[in-house]
Amino acid sequence: MQVLPLGASKGAGVAWLLDHLGMSYSNVLAVCDGENDLEMLSMAGIGVAMGNAGPTVRAVADAVVATNNEAGVAEAIQRFVLEPQRAGLVQEAAVTSA
C-alpha cells in the first residue's frame, strides 16, 4: 500500500520536474509495473511496461519489456535510449563524411 498526500502522484512529480527543467514530456522514458504508475506512463514520450505488469498497465504502454527479475529496465534503456542514440551517431557520421 502507498499513502500519498492528496494530489500527489508519480505523474505530478514528473510534471513538476519537467516544468522545473524546462523539458518536454516527449523526452521522458517511463518504465512502469503498477497501476500507481498509469498517469506517468501515459504522459511519457515512451511508456514501457515491465513484463510483470498487469493487463491495465500493459494496455497503456507503448511497449512491454522483460520482467524486473529479467533486467527489463536495462532492456528498455537499451532499446529506447542507447540504440536510437547510436543510430543517430551513425547517421551523423555518414552525413559528415559525405
Closest to 54 measured CA to CA, from 73, 70, 41 = 41
User: What per-residue confidence (pLDDT) applies to 7?
Assistant: 76
Pairwise pLDDT comparison (97 vs 22), residue with the higher score: 22
Confidence of residue 95 (pLDDT cuts 50, 70, 90): low
Q: Which domain range does residue 80 map to?
A: 10-97
User: What is the per-residue burial (b if ≥16 Cβ within 10 Å, else e) of 21-45?
Assistant: eeeeeeebbbbbbbeebbbbbebbe
Mean of pLDDT values over 76-94: 82
User: What per-residue confidence (pLDDT) applies to 91?
Assistant: 61
Asked, for residue 2, whether it belongs to a domain, the answer is: no
Count of domains for the chain: 1
User: What per-residue confidence (pLDDT) applies to 94?
Assistant: 56
Residue pair 42/32 in contact (Cβ under 8 Å)? The answer is no
Asked, for residue 4, whether it belongs to a domain, the answer is: no
Provide the residue count of the chain.
98
Mean of pLDDT values over 65-69: 96
**What is the DSSP secondary structure assignment for residue 44, as one 8-state letter?**
S
| CATH number of the domain residue 86 falls in | 3.40.50.1000
Residue pair 32/55 in contact (Cβ under 8 Å)? The answer is no
Q: For the segment 27-45, what is each residue's pLDDT rounded down to a tens digit? A: 999 999 999 999 999 999 9
Asked, for residue 1, whether it belongs to a domain, the answer is: no
